[in-house]
Amino acid sequence: MTKYDCKFKLKAINFYKNNDVSLKETCKKFNIKSHSNLTYWINSYNFNGVEGLKLKANKKYSVEFKTSVVNYYKTHEINPRDLAIIYNINPSQVYSWIKIFDLHGIDGLELSGKVGRPSMKKHKKNDKVVPLTDSERNKYINEIINLKSKLYNTEMENDIIKKRIALEMKKDIFPKHHK
């Protein structure tokens, strides 16, 4: 998605307001992909002034703020884009919070911003590998052997149960004929 700076948006809005032209013509002149973008900028400018046109750079919002935005959306019949103008936030953020709230409730809003794709920052590797003592190594080996044994027994039990169910189903499908 192309990001337009504040000066560019203001220039397009002023052109539209000061000339007798349509949204479509203004978009064509300024090479704006969608007239809905221009409509959003105009409404945002009318409601919030120049502040409404500035790009919001990765701002962190409190759970209370997110909840109030979602609550306003749920209690009023309002379009999320218009709601974004009122709160002077990105419309995609409003859509995201509504979706998260619908799926996970308030708990989801607390976690939003902490989930998603991990950071691309390089993490320092901990080069210090502490070797295990013989007793620790033996302890882990014994634990692995015990867990593998339990897993094997559980798989055997499941196989027996499945075989019994299959035999009972076969018995019900093909009953023996008595003469």
pLDDT digits (tens, 9 = 90+) for 59-110: 788 889 999 999 999 898 888 988 988 888 888 888 999 998 888 888 888 8
Angle between helices 35-48 and 23-30 in degrees, nearest 10: 100
Confidence at residue 1, expressed as pLDDT on a 0 to 100 scale? 45
Asked if 6 and 50 sit in the same domain, the reply is yes
Asked if 50 and 77 sit in the same domain, the reply is no
- In this predicted structure, the answer to whether residue 179 has a pLDDT above a threshold of 60 is no
Confidence at residue 146, expressed as pLDDT on a 0 to 100 scale? 93
- Tell me the mean pLDDT in the region 3-19: 89
Confidence at residue 112, expressed as pLDDT on a 0 to 100 scale? 61
What letter does residue 52 receive in the DSSP assignment? Answer: G
15 found inside a domain: yes
Asked if 5 and 51 sit in the same domain, the reply is yes
The torsion angle over the Cα atoms of residues 22, 24, 27 and 28, rounded to 10 degrees, is -110
Higher pLDDT, 19 or 176: 19
Asked if 102 and 62 sit in the same domain, the reply is yes
pTM: 0.52
Confidence at residue 114, expressed as pLDDT on a 0 to 100 scale? 58
27 found inside a domain: yes
Confidence at residue 145, expressed as pLDDT on a 0 to 100 scale? 93
Asked if 13 and 42 sit in the same domain, the reply is yes
State which residues form the domain around 108.
57-114
Cβ proximity of 158 and 165 under 8 Å: no
Strand, helix or coil for residue 55: coil
Confidence at residue 113, expressed as pLDDT on a 0 to 100 scale? 58
Asked if 95 and 78 sit in the same domain, the reply is yes
Q: Which two tokens stand for residue 73?
A: 């959306």
Asked if 45 and 2 sit in the same domain, the reply is yes
Asked if 21 and 66 sit in the same domain, the reply is no
Of 11, 39, 55, the residue that ends a domain is 55
Q: Which tens digits make up the pLDDT trace of 96-138?
A: 999 988 888 888 888 765 555 666 777 666 667 788 899 999 9
145 found inside a domain: yes
71 found inside a domain: yes
Q: Summarize the chain as % helix, strand, coil (round to 5).
A: 70, 0, 30
131 found inside a domain: no
- In this predicted structure, the answer to whether residue 2 has a pLDDT above a threshold of 90 is no
DSSP string of 136-174?
Answer: HHHHHHHHHHHHHHHHHHHHHHHHHHHHHHHHHHHHHHS
| Overall number of domains in the chain | 3
Of 34, 55, 76, the residue that ends a domain is 55
Cα maximum dimension of the chain: 101
- Cα separation, 71 vs 61, in Å, equals 15
- In this predicted structure, the answer to whether residue 149 has a pLDDT above a threshold of 90 is yes
Asked if 36 and 67 sit in the same domain, the reply is no
